[in-house]
Chain A
Amino acid sequence: MGVGIKVENLNAWYATNHALLDINLHIPGNECTALIGPSGCGKSTFVRCLNRMHETNPIARVTGKVEMGDTNIYGDISPVEVRRRIGMVFQRPNPFPTMSIYDNVAAGLRLNGFHNRRILDEVVERSLQNAALWDEVKKDLRKKSGASLSGGQQQRLCIARALAVDPEVLLMDEPASALDPVSTAKIEDLIFQLKSQYTIVIVTHNMQQAARVAERTGFFLNGKLVEFDSTHKIFTNPGDKRTEDYITGRFG
């Protein structure tokens, strides 16, 4: 089941560049939350702070508090454990090129020392089904490399790979920006189905996409969270002038 995420006074830096300023927000569980804003506004940095990927960059620094359910993810817990519970799908599909489709999906479990063949088979099938990819690849599971799939299929493979470790939250950093419209529609359908089981946070440049898939939307600008509200409110009656300018296309 997806859990909610509470963010308090989150600040993040790249060296001396203050990328996120005092972010406070509450992401409800089992919903899809979209983050929009112009390039460089900090929305990607923000989701990378949620699963502690931000700190894998040696010049990066972060302060503040992020609570997932009742776990403080910057508290007494290893970043590895955090990332196991908060899955991530990246902007460009990044399957492991030397691994088969099966091995890609099983990677998260295997690399954490889990090798029960029967359960792995089950998890791989279920994850690929949840990612709406099973029917397209079931014949070539072990024969084909993950890199041999089309871009849209690769991205769904990456979603399946993230789902296989059974996370509570799924972060998606512009998951459809490198895909064609048909593949994009498939990913959006998928988000619709997945949010019954997971909390989803999606970064997107595409405002129609945010409007289609998300219950709530946050608007970032220059490292600040300008407005966070129901998607309907943001797109029909934004409370902030800057939000209105952005969604009506006056800048960004």
Chain B
Amino acid sequence: MNDTHYKPSAANRVWRNLADHTATALTILATIVVISPLIAIFGYLLYKGASSLNLNFFTKIPAPVGETGGGMANAIVGSAVLLVVGSAIGVPIGIAAGIFLAEFGRGGRLANLVRFTADVLNGVPSIVMGVAVYALIVLPQKHFSALSGGVALGIMMIPTITRSTEEMLLMVPHVIREAALGLGVPNWRSVLSITLRTASPGVITGCMLAFARVAGETAPLLFTAFGNQFWSANINQPIAALPLQIYVYALSPYDDWHRLAWAGALVLISLIVISVSLVRYVTTRGVLKGAS
């Protein structure tokens, strides 16, 4: 050891340990702050809504005014239909646009335009999206429909999915693309089978974020799916949706309906958590040992 070798003094060591532990404590605190609202909301919903949950809630349609009981079976099915339609529109278009931004349009004028549009679309209030789809689909058809509700949700999913797909694709190392091209794989094939596949965990996360976000949307459905007190799975007819049903019941003057609204909110959050976990489980099942 020579004399210039740095030896921290005792005070210095204490200070470093203190800084180290403080930083660790702060990150733990931040984690708690992030998680606690979710736990608080979920706990409150359980407290308010769990008592109204029974088999009827999942099997019956809403009871007419003045009668007690009834459930939200039609709204659960309706939300599922709307989300399937929305995802069928939002996921492929969103991913395709993300691929364009990251792989083909990079730096081009069209890409900048698409990126800008996506960011603006992301900031459009959801009620405006509902009005726009009302003008585009409901007015020409002259009736509310599940289709129009699904389109509204789908359009809302696009910007989130586009931007997250782009970010995830750009994170795939350049050497991976070169490896594929160097094997004599056509570029389009390399993009789909190598780059997109390598980025797929992140792309799926982006899709699930968009899905979870629109699953709870009420505003864009007010003028489109409209809601329905009866069974319907026809995409050309007005359809019930959990957020709509919660909205109507929460504003009603009846205690019984208030309780059902709480139960509906609990079911909505639970279904979102379940479907996101399910997708995550299914898509990570095939991951190999040591895959990064």
Contacts and interface: CB of A to CB of B under 8 A. Distances in A.
Contacts of A80: 184-187
B287 to A, nearest CB: 8
B291 A92 contact: no
Interface string A31-68: 00000000000000000000101001000000000000
B196 to A, nearest CB: 10
Contacts of A97: 176, 198, 291-292
Interface stretch (A13-21, A22-30, A141-149, A239-247): A141-149
B106 to A, nearest CB: 8
A158 interface: yes
Contact of B290 (A83, A144, A158): A144
A84 to B, nearest CB: 3
A217 interface: no
Contact of A56 (B175, B181, B194, B197): B181
Interface in A59-113: 80-85, 87-88, 90, 92, 94-100, 107-108, 111-112
B182 interface: yes
B198 A96 contact: yes
A149 B193 CA distance: 22
B76 to A, nearest CB: 35
B194 A96 contact: yes
Nearest to A111: B185
A143 B198 contact: no
Contact of B180 (A100, A111, A140): A111
B183 A108 contact: yes
Given A53-B178, A96-B198, A97-B198, A84 B183 contact: yes
Nearest to B106: A58
A107 B179 CA distance: 10
Interface size class of B (residues with CB under 8 A): 20 to 34
Given A90-B175, A94-B179, A148 B184 contact: no
Interface string B158-194: 0000000000000001011011111111110110011
B184 A145 contact: no
B288 interface: yes
A34 to B, nearest CB: 20
Contacts of A98: 197-198, 200, 287-288, 291
Contact of A148 (B187, B197, B288): B288
A87 B185 contact: no
A210 to B, nearest CB: 22
Contacts of B194: 96, 107, 111
Interface in B216-255: none
Given A98-B198, A145-B288, A108 B178 contact: no
B176 A107 contact: no
A95 B173 CA distance: 11
Contacts of A81: 184
A107 B186 CA distance: 12
A67 B4 CA distance: 61
A156 interface: no
B191 to A, nearest CB: 11
Interface of A: 51, 53, 56, 80-85, 87-88, 90, 92, 94-100, 107-108, 111-112, 140, 143-145, 147-149, 158, 161-162, 165
Given A94-B179, A111-B189, A148-B291, 17 more contacts: A80-B185, A82-B184, A83-B184, A90-B178, A92-B175, A94-B175, A96-B176, A96-B179, A97-B198, A98-B200, A98-B287, A98-B288, A99-B288, A108-B185, A145-B290, A149-B290, A165-B183
11 contacts: A83-B183, A84-B183, A96-B180, A96-B197, A97-B198, A97-B292, A99-B288, A107-B185, A111-B190, A111-B194, A144-B289
